[in-house]
Each structure stands twice: as C-alpha cells, then as structure tokens.
Amino acid sequence: MPKPGPRLRLVDVAERAGVSLATASRALAGRDGVSAEVADRVRQVSRELGYVANPYARTLAGGASSTVGLVVHQIDDPYFSEIAGGVIQVAGEQGLLVQICHSGRNPEHELRQLRHLIAQRVGIILIAGSGYADPGVEAEAKRELAAFQDLGGRVAAIGRHFLGVDAVLPDNEAGGRALGEHLLGLGHTRIAVAAATGGLTTVLDRLSGVDAALRAHGRSLDELPIVHADFTRDGGRIAAERILRDHPGTTAILALNDSMAIGVLATLRAHRIVVPERMSVVGFNDVSVAADLAPSLTTVRLPMTDMGRMALDLALKPRSRRARRRSTGHTLVIRDSTGPAPAR
C-alpha cells in the first residue's frame, strides 16, 4: 500500500479506490460527473492515505494560501451582498483575495461548493446564511469542514448553529420579538407572516421571537396564518397574494426578511392597497434600500457589513478548543410602512 507523504500521487489514490485517474481528480475537486458513492469512496481513501492532508498542510502552514472562500445562499440578495462587503474589507486589509460561491439555499449544492473550495486549497472558508433545523442535513458539511480545520484551514460561519465552527449569530429571536411587539403595540391583531420554506433555523428563530411577543399579550403563533414561499422578492409576492386571497381580513404582514417584504409591498401596490393605512408591512435585516422604498420599510436592523468583518476576524484568529460565538445585537427601525391598525 502507498505510504502517506509528499511522494504520494493522485494515481495512488485512484488505484486504491478502484477508479480512473480522471474520476479521482473530479471527485476530490467536487466536480460533477461522479456518483456520490464513488466520490465518498475516493475522499475516504485520500484521507486514509494522507493525499489531501499533506498538500494542504504544506500550503497552509507556509502561508501560501491567500484566498478566502465565501459561500452565500443568494448572491443577489442585498443581505449577502452587504455581508460580502464586510468580508472584502477585512480581506483587503490583510492582503487576501475573496472567492464567492452561491449555494441557492440547496444543502447538496453547498456541500459541492465547500468541496470545490477545499480542492482549490483556500486558506479560509466562510459560510453565510441560515443553517437547517435538521442537523443531519449539514452533517457531511460539518465533517468536511472539521477535516479541513484539522489540516490547518480556518472556518467561520454566519447564522449557523450546527457546524461546530466559530460563528457570528444574528439576533434573530430578539429581533422577531421586537417586530411582534411593534405590530401589537399598534393595535394589530390580524397579523399574517410571510416566511421561507426549507426548515431554515433563521426562520424558526425569528418565528420564536414573534411567538414570544404574542404570548406576552395572551396569544400564540398558532393563531397566525404563516405562508411559506421562497426567501426572495418573488417569494414575498407569492406569499402576499396568498394572504390577500385566503386571509382578507389581515391588517399587517410580517415578512421574515426584507427581500420578501419588498415583494409584499409590490403586490400590495399592484392591488391598490394603501400602506400603512390599510395594511402595515415589516421586514427583517434593514438592507440598504429599505429606507428608500415608498413607503420606507419598518424593519429590524442587523449590522450586516460588520457581520462579514466579524466572521473573517474570527477565522483569522488561532483556532480555539471550543467554537466561539459572537452575537450581533439588533435595532428596530420604525419607518413609514407601519401605522395603527385600521378600524374594523
């Protein structure tokens, strides 16, 4: 059997795994064209033989890797654009390059992106965007990242609970409570929620905060219609259409991110529903365009650019025995899209 070490070749991995050299190369690079079973076998053999470990260890220990891999859910979402801006600021200060990958909120695609970045021998991997309520969905990604860190790579995440890495955690639950309290304080009792699909922890945390606000007023989340759609502007439009059709008495729509809220506002405008006199709307994140909408959007502000900076700062620190957590705080920003509940 080949011995681990600098003389180990890719062909040794391929022979041990019983695949062609081209297949072994595609599997380790995370490229398409290889079945999941074969790719897993090749990666397992490479770990056993030390083929991946030695090149990474030499690259990372020598400081030759000057690239940060940033994986985001949705590159055209201003939330992720602002986070990326913070990452790029710190990277520029440190003389690092940033490679941005887009997962589309698909955990399998995200895993392929991670494997591709690892195969490219980046020095740091950052993952931004909600994790999944089922830890099993991220189990393979967690294993890949743990192996990457064991070889000298550094990892940090934004908004992830179960990856076992340093993380910046947005103040989602407290922010959700602030939005719920705001609408209830304006007298709204017929509130509908526009939420994302896919079992995202961000959605569950924000809903938990809304529920806490409702319970403080003798109500619960179970009483509210929750309409699930994509976490995008189009998803907000779809959710608003369903709310207007199925819950016509609604006086406030609580969208769980600003992109959905923008879609909600577009739909209300198309239906000639006046905001906030007839319907109040709130979002979450306070993306840069939120203040420029007509009407301007009431939302919870998260320090998104700072979150990107915080994540890369964490990754640049020496690895600690326990994963570090950084909370972001939040601010309720009241603008023109909310007002008192209309009289029945």
Torsion (CA) 167, 312, 25, 137 in degrees, nearest 10: 20
pTM of the model: 0.82
- Separation CA 104–CA 94 (nearest Å): 29
pLDDT, tens only, 123-175: 999 999 999 999 899 999 999 999 899 888 999 999 998 999 999 999 999 99
Handedness of CA 126, 108, 149, 142 (dihedral sign): positive
pLDDT in tens, 33-60: 788 888 888 888 888 887 754 444 444 4
Task: Tell me the average confidence (pLDDT) per consecutive run of 10 residues in the chain, 344 residues long.
Answer: 55 86 78 82 84 48 70 93 97 94 91 90 94 92 91 93 95 98 98 93 97 97 96 97 98 98 98 98 97 97 97 93 94 98 88
Look at residue 14 in the predicted model and tell me its pLDDT: 85
Check residue 184 and give its pLDDT: 98
**C-beta neighbour count of 300 within 10 angstroms:** 27
Which pLDDT does position 7 carry in this prediction?
59
Strand bridging mode 299-301 / 331-333: antiparallel
